[in-house]
Structure formats: structure tokens, C-alpha cells
Chain A
Amino acid sequence: MKRMMAGLGGALILAGGLAHAQEGDALLDMSWDEIVETARGGEVNVFMWGGADNINAYVSDYIGGQLEDDYDITLNRVPLTDTAEAVNIVLGEVEAGAAEGAVDMIWINGENFRTMKQGDLAWCGYVDKLPNADLVNFDNPAIANDFGTPVEGCEVPWSRVQFAFANDTARTPEPPRSIPELIDWAEANPGRFTYPAPPDFTGAAFVRHVFTHVAGGADALIGPFDQAKFDEVAEETWEILNDLEPHLWREGRTYPTSITQLQQMFANQEVDLFFTYDPAEVGTAVANGIFPETMQSYGLSDGTLANTNYMVIPVNAANKAAALVTQNLLLSGEAQLEKAQPEVWGAATVIEPDRASKEVQAGFAALERHPSVVSIEELGQAALPELTPDWTSKIEDGWIENVGN
């Protein structure tokens, strides 16, 4: 008991004394070599969705191993089920005035990033310090905008993903390849299709595909939120989805609550169509025995939504120097190539391979994808930009009110 009280007192002193241990501004005045020296021997706490073994192993073993060997930095990967948990930790700390945050980096995009940027929870303005940032084309609008929110140096891109559908060719040889075809197909095959109810991330993305289709394409929805436009498109979208409802799994009386549930339902042959925001996951699921070998993934003829995911450093991160070194490593040609290997992860890169070394270029040219994963080039021919969070949250709320009720 005595020892415990002593520990408690010690912790209190620590929390008070280290209030401003590592200021971000001081780091920005340093050269890259000085930043690396500052980071050496430290640790970095990376908070990220932890549901995929292969992704966990890539970060812990490949990235963590190199940080350990080259910089003597210990990488602690903290698994999350929902990224908002990490944002809430940072928010709580900043509100309580804790300058020494527990979170050094979060795998993030979309609304969570907007929350951090608007709440001044993200550390900004360090990106040109990273030598490997030269490999990224920050003028590419798909990288400069995170779900329509300008990135403006407040986060660093990590991977690209694009929405894709998937089917078992042994069960469904001719899957629908556009939203109108999908609606006809669902009506012709009652009970064999459903989608996770928004606010599930992937389910909401499916609803956005229908919404975009009704609007006549993504171009009609680019830019700031437009209430008149929304009302017009939304009315027809809800009508289509409500008409579809009786043909869905369990006559649409209930919807799956997560993409994981849809994955299990597909595996148990309750439904015949699956979709995902990361087609590499289809390959992983085949490798893990969840999906059959006869699985294929594919895009839609009128395009599917695409987005970029990022790494953000919270404004109160305790180990900013180590976080910078980690981000620089994540962006290196070699690390991006390793991540793109189908047996590692199969994630699409955010760097321009032709800006990287000859070996890395050759590696990207020689990449072989998992047979069940649609090729990035094929999918990328029709990539739709994501809508801004104003649109996406209005669409989610509208679905819950008009369709999911």
C-alpha cells in the first residue's frame, strides 16, 4: 500500500513537471538529421484499427522492426475497434490540459480527421520536413483532400483504397455491374442482397453510390453542401431504397449492423453479394479461409468511390520526433512496396513509383495481385471522388430517418 501511494505521488509529479516536454515548433526549426537524433532511443505509440492480422504484422514487424534496428525507436501498436476511440482520447486529454498525450499517431481519414482538424487536435505544417514526402504528389486532388477536407499539411497519406463489389463465381456467375443492374438483380433474387445500415462506414458508402447514381454522377455533388440539390436527390434515393427494401435479406425488416456481419453472412451463404472499401480484404479473406477460392472482386461500370487514408500526429503527442521518423519510414518506396505485396497486405500506394529508386520502380512493375482481388488499374479507370463530410453525414442521417426507420 505504501509503495502504491508512492507510485501515485510519483505519477502526479510526473504529470505536472513534464507539461511542455517536447514542443513541436522546436522540432520544425531542426534539420532532418537533428530530428532523427532527437527521436533516437525513444518510443512511438501508433493507434490504429487492429482487426486484420496481416496489417498488424506489417506495422509491428516490418515497420516496428526497422524503427528498432535503424533508429532504436520502440513502436507500440495500440489496436482499436473504432478510430473515434483514439480521437476521443486526444480530445479528452487536450480538454483536461494534458500536454503529454498518450497518442503519437492515428491511422485516420474522413470525419475523424475533420474532427481533429477543426478542433485543432492535429499537428500541422511539418510535412515538408519529411524527406520521403518528395515521393508523394500533393497536387493530386485525391491526396490533397481527405473526404473533401483540405489536408493542408495536417496529415500524411498512407494508402489508397477504392470501393469494390465481390461475388463467388461458383454461386453467382453473372453479378450486377452497375447500380441500376444491382437493383434489378436484387428484385430478381429476393433475400439474396442486403447492406450494412449506416452509420456503418461501408454501408454508408454503398448508400452514397446509389445517391451519386441518382445525382447523375459524382461531378454533380462536388463542392460545398447544397441543400436544394440534396433535397432533390435525396427524395429519389430514399424512394429507390425503400422500394428495394422488401426484396432484401429478411424483407429489409432488419439490416446487418457492420461490414463484418455482412462478411459472415456471405460466408454462410445467406447473401450472394459482398462489397468492401478495400478490395485487398477479399484476398485476405480467401487466404484466411473465410471466402472460397472462387471469389472475385470487381468495380462498377459507372465507377466506384475511392479515398485515401492517412496518418495524423495529435497536437499534444508526447513523441513527435519519433512520430516524424515513423511517418517518413511509412512513406519510403521500400515500405510502400512491401505494403503493396499481395501476401503482405495488397494496399495501393500513395507515392509516385517513378519518383522512387530503380529497385522500387521495378518492384511495383513486378507486383502480382491475389487472384481474387480486382487490379488497381482496372478499378482506378472509374474512380469517383468522395463527398465532403457535410454531404456524407446528411446522407447518413437521411437514410436513418427515411429508410432505416
Chain B
Amino acid sequence: MSARARMALGVLLIAALMAPLVPLALWSVARGWFYPQILPATWTLEPWMRAFAARSDIPGALMTTTCIALAAAALALALGIPAGRALGLYRFRGKALVELALLAPVIVPGIAVGLGVHGVFLRLGLTNSALGVVLVHLVPTLPYVVFVMSGVFANYDAEAEAQARSLGARPLQVLWHVMLPAIAPGVMVAGLFAFLVSWSQYILTLTIGGGRVVTLPLLLYAQAGAGRNDQAGVLAMLSLAPGLVILALVARQLAGRGMSIGGTR
């Protein structure tokens, strides 16, 4: 494909992805925008000013959402990388069953998982706390991490580790200098997935957090449910931000080295 055609295709793709978001962006700066107006009649920054006013819930919720998503992603990586390595590198009895079990939380509706986990967490004293929310976010995030990482490890040559050991490297050195550089792009993809999946959780956060752990999706649902399209527009823009920022920051990395090991499925 010529460079020009690739460019055109890229622009088209971006436009198709962005077009549905334009009304949300417009709503966030509109005061009343209804049929038959094509564009809002009155423009205002008021929804944004309200969002960042002194008593607003939004700055706190942004902070909470970020911290929870970072913690959930880190924990999911810590658990998912070893699991992915086992699934990607080794054949063992019952492997298909393990894979199915790992995928199950993605198939079962979140509300069913949430209600079941709620009873258990209540007894453990984990409800209504950010810690409980981080832990419950592992349910939807872990499958993504495990499957991305098992794909990465399926294409990973463990012989390199043997070579390093034969040259005298200690286990931690092998991990740091051989395995991590090879799987880094995959780890990044898995971590991003986990971050974004955690970032957008609603029902699990509400059930386990008991409404006390207020994240952006909780505020977004409340405003959208109340018909406040302007406030919902602001919250939607804020919810989109990390995805766009992260994508812009790591796009080069994903396209470059990620493909060379063919590890991102």
C-alpha cells in the first residue's frame, strides 16, 4: 500500500472512531440542544466550570478512578504474567479447562458476579472500600491480561533464558535482562487493557464499593440517567481522556516492537 493510501485509510479510521463522540463533546459545551437545532443555539463552558468547582465530586472521582485502575492493572499483571507464561509455554493436563475457567468471568454477566462476590466480601469486611473495589476489578481484568500474556509467551523462545543461565546469569538477572525486554510490549498492551477495563467498570464498583467508592462511571450513569446531557458530556469526555492519552503515548511502541515478536495476538 502506498504511503498516501495508508494515510487516507488512517484518517478515515480515526474519523469513523471519533464521529460518534462529537455529539458528546458538543453537549459538554451546550446549554439546551434539542431537535430541530443542528448545532447548539447557546454555547457555554458552564458544565466544565461546574465539573471543576470547589464542591464538585468530579476531581475526587477522577483521582479515585485513576488510583483504582492503576492498582487493579498492576495486580492483574502481577498475577497474569506468571499465569500467561504457564499457559503459553507449557502443555499440561486440563489446560483447556483452565483457559475456560479464566474466560468465564468475561462470559458471565457482571451483575451475577457482583452479587455473588458481594456476599463473600461482606463477610471478609471488604465492601465499601477501595481495596475491595480493586480486588473485584481483577474479575474482569485478569482474563484479558492472562490471554494477552499467554499469546506473548506462545511466541517466546525460552531457550534464550537457558543461554543466559549457561553464561552465568542468576534467576533475577534472567528475568530482568532476558524475559522482560522480550515481553515488554505485550506487558504494556495487557496493562493498558487492564487499566481501561477497570477504568470503565460500573456495576462491580457500585455493588462492592456500596456507592461509597465514587468513580467516574458512577457519576456518568447518574447524570445520563437524570437526562443531564451536558454534565454527562463532560464526564464522557473525561472518561475518554486516559484511553486517548495512553494510545497517543504508546502507539509507536505498539506498532513497532510489539509486532516483531508477534506476541499481541
Say which one of A44-52, A335-343, A378-386 lies at the interface with B: A44-52
Q: How far is the CB of A180 from chain B (nearest CB, A)?
A: 30
Q: Does A140 contact B (CB under 8 A)?
A: no
Contact call A8/B122, Cβ cutoff below 8 A: no
Say which one of A232-240, A266-274, A358-366 lies at the interface with B: A266-274
Q: How far is the CB of B258 from chain A (nearest CB, A)?
A: 29
Contact call A7/B131, Cβ cutoff below 8 A: yes
Contact call B31/A102, Cβ cutoff below 8 A: no
> Known interface pairs A47-B211, A268-B35. Does A260 touch B226 (Cβ–Cβ under 8 Å)?
yes
Contact call B228/A288, Cβ cutoff below 8 A: yes
Contact call B211/A12, Cβ cutoff below 8 A: no
Say which one of B141-149, B156-164, B189-197, B215-223 lies at the interface with A: B215-223
Q: For the complex, what is the distance from the CA of A12 to the CA of B132, rounded to whole Å?
A: 12
> Known interface pairs A47-B211, A81-B221, A102-B210. Does A93 touch B228 (Cβ–Cβ under 8 Å)?
no
Q: For the complex, what is the distance from the CA of A269 to the CA of B32, rounded to whole Å?
A: 13
Contact call B218/A79, Cβ cutoff below 8 A: yes
Q: For the complex, what is the distance from the CA of A288 to the CA of B30, rounded to whole Å?
A: 10
Contact call A11/B36, Cβ cutoff below 8 A: no
| Interfacial residues of chain B within 120-141, with CB under 8 A of chain A in the complex | 122-129, 131
| Interfacial residues of chain A within 232-262, with CB under 8 A of chain B in the complex | 258, 260-261
- Write the chain B residue with the least CB distance to A57: B55
Contact call B122/A14, Cβ cutoff below 8 A: no
Contact call B55/A81, Cβ cutoff below 8 A: no
A residues in contact with B50, CB < 8 Å? 53
Q: For the complex, what is the distance from the CA of A61 to the CA of B57, rounded to whole Å?
A: 12
Query: Looking at the complex, which one of B32, B55, B225 makes contact with A288 (CB distance below 8 Å)?
Result: B32
Q: Does B212 contact A (CB under 8 A)?
A: yes
Contact call A269/B221, Cβ cutoff below 8 A: no
Contact call A268/B34, Cβ cutoff below 8 A: yes
Contact call A78/B227, Cβ cutoff below 8 A: no
Contact call B212/A290, Cβ cutoff below 8 A: no
Contact call B119/A96, Cβ cutoff below 8 A: yes
Q: Does B65 contact A (CB under 8 A)?
A: no
> Known interface pairs A96-B119, A260-B226, A268-B34. Does A11 touch B211 (Cβ–Cβ under 8 Å)?
no
Q: For the complex, what is the distance from the CA of A47 to the CA of B79, rounded to whole Å?
A: 36
Query: Looking at the complex, which one of A60, A96, A103 makes contact with B122 (CB distance below 8 Å)?
Result: A96
Q: For the complex, what is the distance from the CA of A79 to the CA of B213, rounded to whole Å?
A: 11
> Known interface pairs A7-B131, A52-B226, A92-B118. Does A12 touch B35 (Cβ–Cβ under 8 Å)?
no
Contact call A61/B210, Cβ cutoff below 8 A: no
Interface residues of A (CB under 8 A from B): 1, 4, 7-8, 11-12, 14-15, 45, 47, 50-53, 57, 60-61, 76, 78-81, 85-86, 89, 92-93, 96, 98, 102-103, 258, 260-261, 263-264, 267-270, 288-290
Complex A-B, nearest 6 residue pairs according to Cβ-Cβ distance, in ascending order: A51-B226, A289-B32, A15-B125, A78-B211, A11-B125, A268-B35
- Enumerate 25 A-B pairs (CB-CB under 8 Å) in ascending A order: A4-B131, A11-B126, A14-B125, A15-B124, A15-B125, A45-B212, A51-B226, A51-B228, A52-B226, A78-B211, A79-B219, A80-B211, A86-B211, A92-B122, A96-B122, A96-B123, A102-B127, A103-B210, A258-B225, A263-B227, A268-B34, A288-B228, A288-B230, A289-B32, A290-B32
Interface residues of B (CB under 8 A from A): 31-32, 34-36, 42, 50, 55, 57, 78, 118-119, 122-129, 131, 206, 210-212, 214, 218-219, 221-223, 225-231
